Structure formats: C-alpha cells, structure tokens
Structure 1
C-alpha cells in the first residue's frame, strides 16, 4: 500500500500566497475562513493553481489538520 505524501512546495504556497481578489484580497490562503472556502466549493473553485490550492486548504481545514502548517508558517 502506498502512503500519501503531501507536496512540501504546495504546502509552502498555502502559507505564503495571498488571495488575489475578492472580499479577502491579500489574505494568506491558510488564513482564509472556512466559510469562504465552502462558498467556493458550492460555486466552483477558480481554474488552475489557485483553485487547487483553495480546495486543498478547505480539505485541510475540514479535517482539522491546520496544525500541520504551523512549522511552515514559522519558517516563512
């Protein structure tokens, strides 16, 4: 059985990349509220990398895994 290993570069982007538009413009992706991420889930995530990152952040938050990002936040 193969174990899932998260991409460290992807996780780094979650703690440094800022939302480029909307109500939470300039907020780091990992700091976006779950309600905003759920709105995207209902309406459709943006295409491309941003959408993938937002969806990943929603999965992390919905599963109570935000503490996994804390070491990355401290190094950035």
Structure 2
C-alpha cells in the first residue's frame, strides 16, 4: 500500500454498479465484503476496494477522517 492510496479512498468515486458515483470510503461494508468473496476487479479500482474492505473489516475507517478535509 502506498500512503497516497488512503487519500484516493476519500477522493475517488465508484465508477460502476449500484453505488456508482459514491466515494470508495463511503461504500457500505456488505458491498465491500461481496467483492472480497466474489473477487475484486483488476487494476487500481480493485486495489482500492480491497484496501477499503480491509479498513472496514478491521474497524479502521476512522483513519480516513483527517484526510476528508484535504
């Protein structure tokens, strides 16, 4: 993980699906867990979704709070 990835979680939006247009940091846990079970998409979006799922699963989403004001 690159430190910039955390910033991307609060600036990058979901490009497809039910939550298209929502910040990756704001995706619901059940949606992230579905990707974890079914497989993350390739590329940057998959990497960011996997990171967000890990943060959410481990209760670490508060790490993103200071980055939201950037």
| TM norm. shorter chain > 0.5 | yes
Aligned to 1:7: 2
Cα displacement string for residues 8-53 of structure 1 (whole angstroms, at most 9, x for unaligned residues) = 2110000000000000000000000000001111111000111010
Q: If you compute each CA radius of gyration, which structure gives the higher value, 1 or 2?
A: 1
Aligned to 2:13: 18
User: Structure 1 runs of 4+ off > 6 angstroms?
Assistant: none
Structure 2 Cα separation of the partners of residues 61 and 32 of structure 1: 10
5+ residue gaps, structure 2, are: none
2:52 to 51, 54, 57: 57
Structure 1 Cα separation of the partners of residues 12 and 55 of structure 2: 16
5+ residue gaps, structure 1, are: 1-5
